[in-house]
Structure 1
């Protein structure tokens, strides 16, 4: 534990359809809106200790993707249930991969942002 920093406060994710993204993350993933700044184009969603903050891009601006690496992942205690839930909600989901004690899968939000879910015994 750092003596200076306590935790990561938020993770930022760029979206072009701000209102639709807020709705999708709420309706499909069940994240609650903590606060929203329509003028600045930010919406913070509660998903646990670290917030997910959606950032509205300009209409002509594409979200920046620097590489093929996932920037963050969601942890679940039941990866099969999480996978099935997303499939049932018509989310673009890849198969579950297992490597020793870790399982994970990738999925995409409504704008094609690559996201990941992981499981390991705590």
Structure 2
């Protein structure tokens, strides 16, 4: 039996049209607290038990991009190792990207569904 490559589902993404109103609604109506937010990039992670909900501001490109919506991402402790493992198994992967705090890459399952892997210091 192979050990799981991924530690957990890190977050679930939900595209929203009105970013500010969505944050307010999820906070006030459902009682979720904001874990972090980046108004410039249009992301806000809300605390919902073990797996946060990340609200993502919709853009005009969202409607035209095929298979661009990644519904969730996987967390790994070793992103380079996970990347190499997927490559060695013939998986179509994109480049590892990073912003200084978080590293991530996208990949596709056997049906072309977009998935994403992330790593950050916990």
Normalising to structure 1: TM-score of the pair? 0.47
Q: Whose RCO is larger (CA < 8 A, sep 6+)? A: 2
